[in-house]
Chain A
């Protein structure tokens, strides 16, 4: 008889990395579907190209570096889809490919691959594309919803024009990147993430609340605060990017501080910065700070209680 010998535990939770990534992909689907519905075939092309490029980049790197190929863990696919959703539907194909390769090869693999990157790959790629090709990256069009006879019209982001109504913002009848267009779809995604236990509520809820409160404080207007959380990438960033495991803190209190400060930075950039790109930099800056937050805000450990309670 040959028996396997191992140390305990002998059972494991059925939730694997691959399954968690699958949950994220499923949670992204409503936003992706609404993006394609709003912007048409070009949006589908951008999303598809980003996904394929990211997976190819990951596969190529792991082959070249002679590492075990871990494309099957779906993490590259998640990066691809998130990056695609962060681009305008009019993004040229070469920009999508460059962004994908930058996300996977430079941001993720050069720093050690899955789990060791200190920035969110999709977000860092977005920041680089934005700095390199600002015109392409901010070439937003009004959603057409496949209506016949309506041409796509280039417009500025509503943050620049302040023209859209709250309902329009919520349902996605405004220009923007593919993923951020429908807030309803993003909230559906959040619900999926929470129900499957993929992310905890603290980061998304506190980040959005922080943006709301700080905008209210700085502008004195609750309407402007509501506008702030429904426009631009706040909701998408809070739900899908600030919650990235690798680049967000772990302990409860550190997560609260992280989300709160990210919200503050977003509002400061939006209110006082020279251009409306708060979400990307707000989250990236807090990504960098998250190992420090984990270090300085640890959980209380059992066995170090000060006084002994009376019976």
Chain B
């Protein structure tokens, strides 16, 4: 089979097998902790509104946060027990957010479930509402509400659904293990979406450093309608939505547009499995698979309840092997740093990586030598060194002209830079600034209209 890929890109931690060696052969195991803290702000869009109060008894799968509008999903209790608190907790990146703390009674009492039955026989119209009701968001890390992705109006059509099993990020093996151990569920989820959208082309994309997963998925797609496995070259960011779409369909998502503009939808393998759970069993999203690795004694792939606290998870993994210098959710290329280990996991937490003090040290920037490594790395084809000059001067107009808004913040340029320049942080700063400015302008224009 011809392996597909995109232009440019990098091979991070190539000599260290992308940091995946210590967990790739570990089976997924369950871990349920004593207390969970479930954030109401786990999706892009509006946070959910808590509908329980301190002292309430809740069941597993019970709605504890209601969706606020279309661009929002409900939040469910991931354990049964007593609500200890409904209060604000710090979040990653945004300000404080509401969260519900539940003391686990370990009875595992579920709410009444309403399964829709086999994905091949379910009423297609019921699939997308079920996905929203189950609180499913993109589980590859972006946490975009899945039902929003699958709902498109004004004449837009979809002809290809791509399941993202690339797992190009470093350190993570959660998707890999899921593909090995639960391959049928992934195909079920994909089929449910294909039937809901009336699409007959489903492609499961997997990098060629995961040939065991390719074999498992190939077995699982046997006899399933319109579904095939596509082997991709191992290269970062192969699992980037835009990169996958171009590699598989030859089409480019237009600048500022969405995948559906080129008739494609990309879903993570974990999202597909969650969709299958929602349709077949009627179960909401209450757990996920997370790779815990780095400076912990017993690295693991764990099935964790949403809201499990990092400290408990590290404890389950034998504790810290060394003094931690940095802990982040996700892989090393795009992961978000934690302020401390009291942070609970979210629906999007695919990995917890602990770095020791040495690995956490950052180096000072040295001058740009124009070596062009950033340009050769950029999967979008930008000139990172030029954008950096503009962004550092806060010349956002110039940054915009250099297409900073097309940057996907994959970190490839910053990884390659021999002068260790803070390229990606500068671009994030510029992008956030430009987006905020545009939003303010829009709000001002709206205000003017109303008057």
Contacts and interface: CB of A to CB of B under 8 A. Distances in A.
Nearest to A290: B370
Contacts of A70: 366-367
B116 interface: no
Nearest to A306: B252
B341 interface: yes
B26 interface: no
Contacts of A304: 252, 254-255
Contact of B380 (A6, A10, A113, A302): A302
Contact of A299 (B252, B373, B381, B420): B381
B98 interface: no
Interface of A (DSSP majority class): loop
A114 B360 CA distance: 27
A116 B360 CA distance: 30
A70 B12 CA distance: 27
A250 interface: yes
Interface stretch (B69-77, B147-155, B300-308, B320-328): B320-328
> Looking at A1, A15, A301, A302, which has the most chain B CB atoms within 10 Å of its CB?
A302
Contacts, number: 169
A245 B330 CA distance: 34
Given A113-B367, A114-B367, A12 B414 contact: yes
Nearest to B423: A9
A30 to B, nearest CB: 23
Contact of B366 (A17, A19, A299): A17
A131 interface: no
Interface stretch (B60-68, B207-215, B242-250): B242-250
A246 B414 contact: no
A127 B378 CA distance: 37
B251 A298 contact: no
A16 B366 CA distance: 10
Given A20-B371, A309-B249, A9 B254 contact: no
Interface size class of B (residues with CB under 8 A): 35 or more
B170 interface: yes
B419 A17 contact: yes
Interface size class of A (residues with CB under 8 A): 35 or more
Interface of B (DSSP majority class): loop
A15 B419 CA distance: 9
Contact of B414 (A9, A75, A113): A9
Nearest to B18: A11
A6 B371 contact: no
> Looking at B252, B325, B327, B409, which has the most chain A CB atoms within 10 Å of its CB?
B252
A274 interface: no
Nearest to A115: B367
Contact of B324 (A3, A10, A75): A3
B370 A115 contact: yes
A65 interface: no
A251 interface: yes
B222 interface: no
> Looking at A12, A17, A114, A248, which has the most chain B CB atoms within 10 Å of its CB?
A12
B335 interface: yes
Nearest to B335: A8
Given A3-B340, A304-B252, A9 B424 contact: yes
A200 to B, nearest CB: 8
A21 to B, nearest CB: 9
Interface in A282-304: 294, 298-304
B13 interface: yes
A245 B371 CA distance: 5
Nearest to B415: A9
16 contacts: A3-B327, A3-B341, A4-B362, A5-B326, A7-B425, A10-B335, A10-B355, A11-B415, A13-B416, A20-B371, A20-B418, A245-B370, A299-B375, A301-B381, A302-B406, A303-B242
Interface of A: 1, 3-13, 15-17, 19-20, 70, 73, 75, 113-116, 245-246, 248, 250-251, 294, 298-305, 308-309, 311
